[in-house]
Amino acid sequence: MKYLFQNGALEVGARSLSLGSEELHVEPQVFDLILYLVENRSRVVGKDELIARVWKGRIVSDATIASRINAARKALGDDGRRQSFIATHSRQGFKFVGDVTIEGDTSGRPALAVLPFLLTNGEGASEHLARGLAEQLAASLGQAGWFDVCDTTASFASALAGLAPKDVAARLKVGYLVLGTLHATAEHLRLDLRLISSDASRQMWSGRFDAPRGDIFGLQDSMAEIILGEVEPRLRSVELQRSEARHGNLTAFDHYLRAQDLLRVMDLPSMRAACIELDKAISAYPSYGAAYGMRAWIATLLLPQGQRVDPRVELQRSRMAVTEGAFDCDALAMGGYALGYFDRHPDTGIDYVRRALAINPSSARAHDHLAWLLLYTGRSAEALEHFDRALTLCPIDEFSFRMRTGRAFALLYQRDFEGAVRDGYRAHAVAPEYSVCHRVLAASLAHIGREKESRRIAKELLTLNPGLTIARFARDTRFEGPKDRELLFQGLKMAGLR
């Protein structure tokens, strides 16, 4: 991918900037700054967004940003007076104003195919079993919803026989292939699976499944659970890396992935930048249920940070998510959670999240959203089951710190204060600016007499959310159980919150 402007060229893959025939040396951060402004040249980019995307959420001063802007202008042959390429918009941000053309293209929604499984023992009677397992796997992967799974009648076509994997991928127009090898005896089944990229240059995952011959359904169930629990998040990660290398005319899915990546930090600049990415996704695809759901879900995260949110707008987004994404697990899970949150009737949202789990029972995030809604209604024991299920299904999920935080609340309400502290600290280590975690951690530490630690965590909480008081928290929180609320607020009061 290359951007051309006047006598300059910005080449993304090579990370090079040239003016005329001369290639210029620019610092990596300055290159990233120019690239991000060029990519988003249709609008003014605010400082918070630049901090989230270029500085990856690290705290930087206005002087540092100004210094990098000046360096970027100098590299482009521009300056603060002419502003021929980078214009400053007072109190708003910066905008790339040069004329740009693009060489190269972008790809959109990912797709994969499950190829016929290879029989290692040549037992003809097992051919139907190999085909059935492959078809079942394709159906399981299709439950994820955010990527396309090639029709098995196409991936099993005789015209593909004998072709190399990369040629099969090219013929089917898919980015990923699932290959399997089945060894079947009269008593036992062993299935080895691999997920590879379309050019067969990269193996992204492999797994082995064993079962007695008579337990074919158990083999199918375990295969589906592992595939959706481990492979699906890996696909998201790879797609995000590919999206980061694509610039210019990004797809709605690219913006959705970038928003999801930004949320791993869980600080305010990242959340705001994620909202911008989701607004772009919705603008490009107005029926994008999952994007509406994530946008509303972010609003539920902004409220505990002391940010102003319009519940009416978020309710509308939540309803768009569950309507437009009626068969999309992510849309139903996030939209349903936000609906229960802003409607202040968790059971309304619970119905939609349960529907998401009916579509994809192996969705760790849907189990997480359901657990939080159950927690709000005072059903901490049932919530704990779903938090545990989420962590079992996908321990590598980048949002596992939120699952750990929820689990800490559930343990607090079960009076397991030591367990709540353990989970609270595990979540805090991964996401130190996720202020929801500070609340349960401070309260749990106070209940076991670790006063010094509880006050330190409470102080961090007030740094993240200045002006927070128990009265304000009591007004805004969604926890409904009277005994749960009393236990939480008592702990926070002992930790020094007033």
At 112 the pLDDT is 83
457 vs 3, 264, 304, 307, 447, CA distance in Å? Answer: 47, 21, 16, 21, 14
pLDDT per residue over 342-368, tens digit each? 999 999 999 999 998 887 787 888 999
CATH topology classification for 2-103: Arc Repressor Mutant, subunit A (1.10.10)
Superfamily of domain 111-230: ABC-type transport auxiliary lipoprotein component (3.40.50.10610)
Would the CA dihedral through 478, 484, 490, 496 be positive or negative? negative
What are the residue ranges in the chain where pLDDT is below 70? 1, 13-14, 57, 102-109, 122-126, 142-146, 151-155, 157-159, 199-201, 228-230, 240-250, 395-398
> Are 250-361 and 378-498 the same fold in CATH?
yes
Show the tokens assigned to 230. 């481990």
Q: How confident is the model at residue 450, as a pLDDT? A: 96
The highest-level CATH class for domain 378-498 is mainly alpha
Compute φ and ψ for 229, nearest 5 degrees: -80, -30
| pLDDT given at position 172 | 79
The whole-number pLDDT of residue 107 equals 35
The pLDDT of residue 244 is 61
> Which CATH number is associated with domain 250-361?
1.25.40.10
pTM, whole model, 2 decimals? 0.65
User: Are the C-beta atoms of residues 194 and 205 closer than 8 Å to each other?
Assistant: yes
Question: Domain-by-domain residue ranges, the chain?
Answer: 2-103, 111-230, 250-361, 378-498
